[in-house]
Amino acid sequence: MPTLADLPIPLDFEPMEAKLVDELPTGPGWRFEPKWDGFRCLAFRAGDEVDLRAKSGKPLARYFPDMVAALKALPAASFVVDGELTIAVGGELSFDALQMRLHPAESRVRKLAAENPATLVLFDCLTDRKGRSLVEAPLSARRAELEALSARLKAPPERVRLSPGTASLEEARDWLAHTGAALDGVVAKRLDGPYVSGERAMLKIKRMRTAECVVGGFRYERDSRQVGSLLLGLYNDAGKLDHVGFTATITDAERPDLTQRLEKLAGGDGFTGSAPGGPSRWSNGRSQEWTPLKPSLVVEVRYDHVTGDRFRHGTKLLRWRPDKAPGQCTLDQLRAEAAPERLLAKLA
């Protein structure tokens, strides 16, 4: 019986990564795929052994026992595949549901797995049917092997799906125009390119958008009394100011004056709806204390992705908007855009 140690791809193998660029590449030889909103995952199977590894190399199997069971049930005794772990809640992909799985209590993890099981969306294959490495093979050959693996599964299992792709630039542009709730952008890969471990050998393209937000609070820099980040808010349907994210793109030159300006506004209600959290075991020791402000300042920020009415990543501060009334800054700006139906249908 083969073991994971017998696989030609080691468990600490670094996945190929993508470089962020502004535009979709043109010309022949490119393949475009959706960039799904999930956890990147290398999945290993050898006989009865299954392991899952995050992009960082950290083990994921204990947090996704449902996926371990799903991969063990596949009629393929040995493989190494690259994909994205996703969880659908109410018919939409939920990054928050993925984060909730990273819990220390096994009982909690198993409860969540039973309520909302994960799906692994496959987009690359690192070993062939005979267990040989495909790392040096071009993407065209790896994709053919991945499709052959999917075909051997006969009726595709509910929790393992093959990600769609296209060579059409127009179709990729259409996907990019509909990034939002399920799609995090588009990835472009060379059909003749090998799998380059740990390097940014792919391209990722995201649609950047802007929003005007109220500054509902701020955090000081660590071990400093100067502003480190602005906490952003938008008004919900009930008229309450919800915390939606942060921006930390503040230059050293502007910190002293900005700190004084913010401290003069301290003591307000801050966020009257959902508010920033306090210290947690995920904060890596970084201070999570924040100072609430009177809601009078408005900034325009640039962002790339929204999950659950919050900016997924930090935003870029573009400019202050003294011409904008705080009450005009509402959650309507972040309305989730559905992924193209035909893409989700291919995973259904």
- Catalytic residue (choose from 19, 35, 264, 316): 35
Pairing of strands 92-93, 118-125: unpaired
The DSSP code sequence of 15-48 is PPEEEEESS---SSSEEEEEEESSEEEEEEEETT
The C-alpha atoms of residue 286 and residue 290 are separated, in whole angstroms, by 12
- Asked if residues 256 and 226 have their Cβ atoms less than 8 Å apart, the reply is yes
- Asked if residues 181 and 187 have their Cβ atoms less than 8 Å apart, the reply is no
User: 328 CB contacts (<8 Å, ≥6 apart)?
Assistant: 212
User: 270 CB contacts (<8 Å, ≥6 apart)?
Assistant: 216, 217, 241, 290, 292, 293, 295
- Asked if residues 235 and 330 have their Cβ atoms less than 8 Å apart, the reply is yes
User: 37 CB contacts (<8 Å, ≥6 apart)?
Assistant: 86, 93, 95, 181, 182, 183, 184, 305, 307
The C-alpha atoms of residue 114 and residue 34 are separated, in whole angstroms, by 27
The C-alpha atoms of residue 20 and residue 204 are separated, in whole angstroms, by 5
- DSSP, collapsed to helix, strand or coil, labels residue 243 as strand
318: left (phi over 0), alpha (psi -120 to 50) or beta: alpha
β partners of residue 187: 33, 204
- Asked if residues 25 and 65 have their Cβ atoms less than 8 Å apart, the reply is no
* Catalytic residue flag (residue 204): no
Catalytic residue numbers?
A: 35
